[in-house]
Chain A
Amino acid sequence: MEFTRRDLLAGGAALAAGTVLGGPAVAAAKKSWFAGTAVDNNVTWKRTNFDAIDPAWRRQIVKYYSPEPAGTVVVDTMHHFLYLIVENQTAVRYGVGVGKEGFKWYGRANVARKALWPRWTPPPEMHERKPGLPQYIEGGAPDNPLGPRALYLYRDGADTGYRFHGTLEPWSIGTDASSGCIRMFNEDVIDLYQRCPIGTAVQVLPHIADNAPKKG
């Protein structure tokens, strides 16, 4: 955040001094979806410019009234929110992006596995939709759509195929976009990874548009 402000200030100063950095350049800097880089487990990645993000999608602590006990993750794909229930009827709320496919089911699962900079293996249906995809993309590669973390959802001991993961496209948070499961800002999936021990209960709310069958 500080980086961004300094950038803008520098841009403003340059403008005042009448250098080659003109108005359009400053405007472009304001609109950038990224703000500098950070290093995580030896991988350099681009930080999200949260000044360019609708405040509704930023991580925040909200009131949350639910019969679910603390420690549960609730996914509301319809409204593009993921809640981690904490104490005193509050939750950490994250904005999420949802694959166009949505969730094909609703009900309960748990976080059975977590990974740092996971390798991405496109599922068969994705190869059908986008012919020419590689068999896999190494973790930490700049074009790996999972980003810095993945949390794998299992039900009754079996992989549901669904994950919470990061994104290369911060503008897709808050939308039903492209493919994939539940995508979060990279900063947020790093945060969620820290807050969810293996075994964490997950409840996926029905997504009315899906007509999804209930499972689990």
Chain B
Amino acid sequence: MTLRMHSLRALAFGAAALALAGCSTTSLEPPVPDVTNAPAAGFANMQPGSEEDFILNVGRRTYFAEGSAALDSVAKTTIDNQIAWLKKYPRWFVKLQGFADDPGGDAAMNELSRKRAEAVMNYMIAGGIDANRLWAKGYGKERVVRDCTDAACRVQNRRVISNLREEKDGAA
């Protein structure tokens, strides 16, 4: 009973928030409450081969050791999973976005992040993904996930994101 009251309240709250935001919808589906544990946008009715499928069942991130652009066994496993998925769903292109948060200046970070993105790209090509579906770019210390000098922050930033795209574009 308490539970039902709670979900009713959550629904009412969601509807009120929607009205306040000035959103209008022609859909008859009830709005997803904007609360923790509600399905994230696009994930409530996830389809195989979608970007959501890739994010949930494969994972977009490859991580690197400090100062390194080498792929360790964990990184290779992640990319192997990505390769298998990309072979199954050949309509997708992938932009490989490299990042760095390591000891060194901006120029060194740009270089390291580009090398990381290229390492992932080359491993994908070696694994049988058409090079025309891939491109790589380094972003240096931009777009940090966590901004602090603790190891817990920096390890999150030493990454390559395999970003699915519907067409090949040169833009960032």
Contact = CB atoms under 8 A, between A and B. Distances in A.
B156 A71 contact: yes
A28 B153 CA distance: 48
Contact of B151 (A62, A66, A114, A199): A199
A119 B1 CA distance: 46
A94 B65 CA distance: 26
Interface stretch (A123-131, A132-140, A167-175, A189-197): A189-197
Interface string B30-54: 0000111111100100000000100
A63 B36 contact: yes
Given A64-B36, A65-B36, 18 more contacts: A60-B39, A61-B55, A62-B38, A63-B34, A63-B36, A69-B146, A70-B156, A71-B153, A71-B156, A72-B152, A88-B40, A90-B40, A92-B56, A195-B59, A197-B155, A198-B155, A199-B155, A200-B152
Contacts of B151: 110, 199
25 contacts: A60-B39, A60-B56, A61-B39, A61-B55, A61-B56, A62-B37, A62-B40, A62-B43, A63-B39, A63-B40, A65-B36, A66-B36, A69-B145, A69-B146, A70-B146, A71-B153, A81-B37, A88-B40, A110-B151, A194-B59, A194-B81, A195-B61, A197-B63, A200-B155, A200-B156
Interface of B: 34-40, 43, 52, 55-56, 59, 61, 63, 74, 77-78, 81, 145-146, 150-156, 158
B77 A194 contact: yes
Interface in A59-91: 59-66, 69-72, 81, 87-88, 90
A93 interface: yes
A54 B63 CA distance: 32
Nearest to A187: B57
Contacts of A93: 37
Interface in A161-216: 191, 193-195, 197-201
Contact of A61 (B40, B154, B156): B40
Nearest to B38: A63
Contacts of A87: 145
State the 4 A-B residue pairs at the shortest beta-carbon distance, nearest first. Answer: A71-B156, A201-B152, A199-B155, A197-B63
Nearest to A112: B151
B39 A62 contact: yes
Contact of A71 (B38, B59, B78, B146): B146
A193 B72 CA distance: 13
